[in-house]
């Protein structure tokens, strides 16, 4: 007697669904696998759309192809994977008792029912659309689907005053794409910083200053009230709660929300984040129904809290786990660390773990440090700057998070940090990692470990640092400070720091011979370009009996305030 085949139905055909289907096929070669999607384009690289708008991806069809050039369409999945795909087909209802899914063909209107043994919900997320008057004006665009990218590209020649609404990942990538096309771009963000929840304010301020110097304009802490158009129905301006901004093109990039309509209708549990609740095996409240990707919540490995972090990397990892488990394996998805990287114009951004404010809210005794460094040996022609920040619990010395910005190679450092955090590393563990070195790839001490050593010095009481924000506040209060600038004479002439009651240029090499000439009756702030020489000078001054002395953490490379402290 022939054994009945396992029947797996997967709803959603963009990222998680195809990954789950492909993995299920490899684990169960004889299973019957059906993939259902309401669209007509399958398994596309949505993260590549900003690069298409920038011109790096010449043909949008590249985002639909495999690495070996075959388009991922219905025939691809049928012939290469043995997976039956139903496009332009909407799943309208799940009958969990009968284990069936009701379907409706969007082209013919024909209804049908399909049965399953195991069901995977990979319904993804929908773009958040705020209820703003005038959102249907010509010139207002979204970027969630390849069709959106085509529409934007078709009209790009008419863009004169471009505005992006939303300062998250997609918003910054889109703003970067248009800026690199030599278009003037303004960005509106509801929060008082760009990349909220990604970067702490100190690194964000440095990044934003760089982007402003490159010509990008920011309107932060603003709520969009309405769009206004001209007599022909074209966008003319954006009205916020604080000002009016002229624009003839705007791209909405204000985030996404999980698509849980089908799950809620089926009576499945929705989690506290608003996404579908799942266990470590990605099972919903019905053990035969799984949910993964942008429609499902997950657990933060570090905090143990339920979170919603819709990232392509997470979606694909979860797709593999779901494909395992619907075919009888017991593979766990332990959670996420919130690791993310992105490129904005000529700078890179990365983060993992939790940030400063979140760590404090969770009750940690937070200690942080910021350190600029070269990503390769300084004599190598390709070396560049990275600025790293480590967030640590001072009591346990456990590393809680790492953030990085700069034109240099940040992703390597973030990935190392994510691996270390995953296994619960402390700051001393981070310093002791045996990482590779050669001038084209690294410095003799990796920038991440250099930052970890700076943190160890601070935690051990060897380092007395002042942040850029704190120094700015003291200068604005008019405190009488001695600014001791230990850079070379050439550096000082090129970029002077003006502040305090006295600025003394004194190179590090001359410091020991002139200690007696320095005033001791006022607080001394030592600075240099990156913080390395000023830390050494601070230790020298401490050894010579100076009591009230600090160095500027991160040096002038971490000073984002421009004319308020610097004169070029």
Q: What is the DSSP letter of 236?
A: E
Q: How far apart are CA 506 and CA 522, in angstroms?
A: 17
Contacts of 495 (CB under 8 A, 6+ apart): 556, 566, 567, 568
Q: Which neighbouring-strand residues pair with 133? A: 226
Alpha helices in 3-70, H assignment, sequence order: 16-27, 49-54
Q: Which of 406, 531, 386, 542 is nearest to 466 (CA)?
A: 531
Q: Which residue has the tokens 């619990």?
A: 393
47 in catalytic set: yes
Q: Which residue has the tokens 């001072």?
A: 394
Please state the φ and ψ torsions of residue 112, each to the nearest 5 degrees: -155, 170
- Of 47, 150, 295, 528, which one is the catalytic site residue? 47
DSSP codes, 353-366: E--HHHHHHTT--E
User: In sequence order, what E strands does 182-274 have?
Assistant: 185-189, 217-220, 224-229, 235-240, 244-246, 249-252, 256-258
Sign of CA dihedral 193, 196, 201, 203: negative
Please state the φ and ψ torsions of residue 95, each to the nearest 5 degrees: -100, 95
Angle (nearest 5°) at CA 28 between 26 and 29? 70
Is residue 224 within 8 A of residue 91, CB to CB? The reply is no
3-state class (DSSP) for residue 522: coil
Report which secondary-structure segment, H or E, holds 290: strand 289-291
Known catalytic residues? 47
């Amino acid at each position: 007697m022939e054994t009945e085949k396992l029947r797996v139905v997967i709803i959603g055909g963009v990222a998680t669904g195809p990954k789950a289907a492909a993995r299920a096929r490899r684990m169960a070669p004889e299973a019957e696998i059906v993939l259902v999607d309401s669209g007509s384009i399958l398994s596309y690289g949505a993260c590549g759309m900003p690069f298409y708008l920038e011109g790096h991806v010449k043909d949008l069809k590249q985002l639909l192809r495999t690495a070996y050039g075959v388009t991922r369409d219905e025939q691809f999945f049928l012939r290469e994977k043995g997976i039956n795909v139903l496009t332009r087909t909407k799943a309208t209802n799940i009958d969990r008792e009968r284990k069936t899914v009701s379907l409706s063909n969007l082209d013919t209107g024909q209804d049908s029912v399909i049965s399953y043994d195991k069901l995977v919900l990979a319904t993804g997320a929908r773009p958040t659309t705020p209820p703003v008057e005038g959102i249907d004006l010509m010139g207002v665009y979204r970027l969630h689907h390849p069709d959106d990218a085509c529409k934007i590209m078709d009209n790009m020649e008419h863009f004169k005053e471009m505005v992006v609404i939303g300062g998250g990942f997609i918003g910054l990538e889109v703003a970067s794409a248009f800026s690199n096309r030599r278009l003037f771009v303004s960005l509106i963000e509801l929060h008082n910083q760009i990349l909220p929840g990604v970067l702490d304010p100190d690194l964000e301020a440095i990044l934003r200053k760089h982007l402003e110097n490159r010509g990008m304009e920011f309107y932060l802490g603003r709520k969009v009230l309405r769009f206004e158009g001209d007599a022909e129905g074209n966008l003319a301006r954006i009205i916020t709660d604080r000002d009016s901004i002229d624009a003839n093109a705007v791209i909405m990039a204000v985030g996404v929300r999980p698509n849980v309509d089908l799950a809620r209708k089926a009576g499945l549990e929705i989690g506290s984040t608003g996404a579908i609740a799942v266990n470590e095996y990605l099972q919903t409240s019905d053990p035969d129904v799984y949910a993964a990707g942008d429609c499902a919540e997950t657990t933060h490995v570090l905090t143990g809290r339920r979170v919603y972090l819709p990232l392509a990397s997470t979606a694909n990892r979860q797709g593999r786990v779901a494909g395992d488990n619907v075919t009888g394996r017991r593979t766990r998805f332990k959670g996420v660390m919130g690791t993310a990287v992105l490129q904005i114009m000529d700078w890179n951004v990365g983060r993992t773990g939790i940030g400063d404010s979140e760590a404090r809210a969770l009750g940690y005794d937070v200690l942080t440090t910021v350190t600029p460094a070269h990503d390769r040996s300084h004599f190598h022609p390709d070396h560049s700057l990275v600025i790293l920040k480590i967030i640590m619990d001072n009591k346990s010395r456990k590393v809680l998070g790492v953030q990085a910005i700069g034109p240099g190679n940040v992703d390597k450092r973030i990935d190392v940090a994510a691996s270390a955090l995953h296994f619960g590393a402390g700051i001393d563990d981070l310093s002791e990692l045996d990482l590779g070195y050669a001038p084209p790839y690294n410095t003799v001490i990796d920038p991440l470990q250099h930052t970890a050593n700076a943190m160890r010095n601070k935690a051990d009481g060897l380092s007395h640092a002042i942040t850029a924000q704190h120094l700015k506040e003291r200068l604005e209060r008019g405190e009488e400070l001695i600014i001791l600038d230990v850079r070379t004479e050439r550096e000082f002439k090129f970029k002077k720091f003006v502040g305090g009651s006295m600025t003394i240029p004194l190179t590090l090499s001359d410091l020991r011979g002139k200690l007696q000439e320095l005033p001791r009756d006022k607080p001394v702030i030592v600075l240099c370009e990156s913080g390395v020489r000023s830390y050494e000078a601070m230790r020298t001054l401490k050894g010579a009996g100076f009591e009230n002395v600090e160095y500027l953490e991160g040096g002038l490379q971490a000073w984002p305030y421009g004319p308020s402290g610097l004169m070029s």
